A and B are shown apart, each in its own frame.
Chain A
Amino acid sequence: MIVFRHRKSGDASFLSHIDAMRVLQRTMRRMKAEVRYSAGFVPHMLTYTTTPLPLGVQSVAEYFVADSPLGNEEELLERFNACAPFGMMADFCRVTQGNPNLAAKVVASSYEVKAEERISDEVLQILDMTEYRMRRMKKGQEIDEEVRNRIFSLATDGDTLFMTLATGNENLRVDSFVESLSRFGVKASANDIVRTEQFASLDGKFVAAKEIL
């Protein structure tokens, strides 16, 4: 397997997950990577990814896995970047023996949010709360949910908010969460959010996904 950590930044952040997958698969074709295909009537490229980002949210730490034989990591990274569109470039490549199954292992993501104004430390009160409720849209309907146990860390520095939120099966939608922070005066849109890393849980600690490969 080949694992790439790539960006999804700038205009590329507005690509839907399906579109982004297609872009990455075409990147693999252009770089002439030997990716395996499914054996069905309509063969499709065997590729894997982690939890999709909401539309507009940027990232410098998306993981894309292709079912491909071994290769030279440095050379693969160079070829990937020569064939990927701007905004989807990779900064890391690792060749693994088996499928790292990152979709199941990733449990948290760190984010940076650049707000329109300086962020008040009031937002950190969330960490002292036993319950934090927010509203968000789900399948066209507004729902109210309790998400406190999916907020792992919050910190501020001027107009920037740093946070670690649940990702994966117990996901916390980052754009909805940031929107809910308007009650603390935080003004930011989806495109002001950048996912900076994804983490797996190892012995009770968060470890960057690239470190468990």
Chain B
Amino acid sequence: MMSAGYNPPQRMIYKRSFWPVVVALMLVLPAAHAANWEQPAGDLAKQIAALTGPGSVKLTIRNESSLASGEIPGIRKLLERDLRGFGVVAGGSDSATLIRVTLSENLQGGLWVAEVVEGTETRVTMLPVSLGATVTATGGPSLTLRRTLLMTEPDPVLDAQMFSIGGVQRLVVLEPERIVSYVRNAAVLAPAGTASGNWIEDQHFAIAHTRPFPRDLRGELVAAQDHLFDAYLPGALCSGTTTGVQITVACADSDDPWPIGASQRAFYNAMRDSFTGVLAPGFGMELPPFYQASDIPRPTGTGMLMNGVDGRVMLIENNVLKPVNGGNDWGSDFAVIRSECGSGVQVLVSGSGAAAMGDSLSAYEIAGREAIVVSAPLTVEGAVTAIHAANDGASATVIVRRDAPARYEVWNGSAFCN
């Protein structure tokens, strides 16, 4: 677990450079989306013209893909314009040449199919087309949760954290078999949802381990005091150091306990997906296995919030283990973040999976022994597989697994006052 408030200068750099990009992206996206069809329309028109040659044609377009019907008139206009450029004039209802365009799709994306019918002969040409993606967000009653897509990866992602190395901002991503460092590609303003967005891979390192990882693999990137980071995995530990602006990573088998707070570490069960319940130095009490734990500021000092394997939420305060009420809807993952709203400390929690579809993020505050929800649930398309407090302490890295096709999204989640 990240120690809250660590490395504040990174936060400033991060916020300064990040939000303008997000805002610019939001402004640019609609226009970029409308312009998405220029290239495929031109390419298809060229392919059609190669089959028909110049002349008058009858053109029909039907949509059998996931494109919104509102997009079709625009595509038709583009296609007609581009066909005219090749001397093919659409509109002749009594033309002997019929061009039947079907906007279809397959698992790889869009597939635009044009059938050129002349008498009894039908010729076909096809064009693969990228369909793009969209981003949504919702608000809440006392504070609003916001999430920003950092990147999308086809391979599983366990954690991702932002680091500043020699003034260069890097996104370090922990995958099951490797650690990847990305740098910003300022020249590219890629639409959110495309692979890796505006980050480009800079370095990667294989994670050496001799024992098999558990099937439900968990891992965590933790900022270190005397080097850049430690990556904790079940039965393995990797350390990241810097040489100039380059990162070096060394991995080894390890059963060392993972940091779960400023002064506590916990042993992870290398065959399972949870901590054993054994802490170092510990609180002098026996604890049940748990999924996640984190320091949380309390009126009397610092407590420790834990999410048990049995589904119970617990709080250790003044060396006393107390159950927390109101955590029935909590999923297995949470992160404690700071904000300028409410008590100033919120717990960002995934949903319990009770919903028929999708997952959610909600913010809670812990008042006494009560977990009180302080935001409307933020709908997540997919399943939240991990939440880790970010280095800035004010936000969290949220990993979401999406299906069909399988992919992993790295989000930055934070809370804002209403």
A and B assemble together = no
Chain A residues at the B interface, C-beta cutoff of 8 Å: none
Interface residues of B (CB under 8 A from A): none
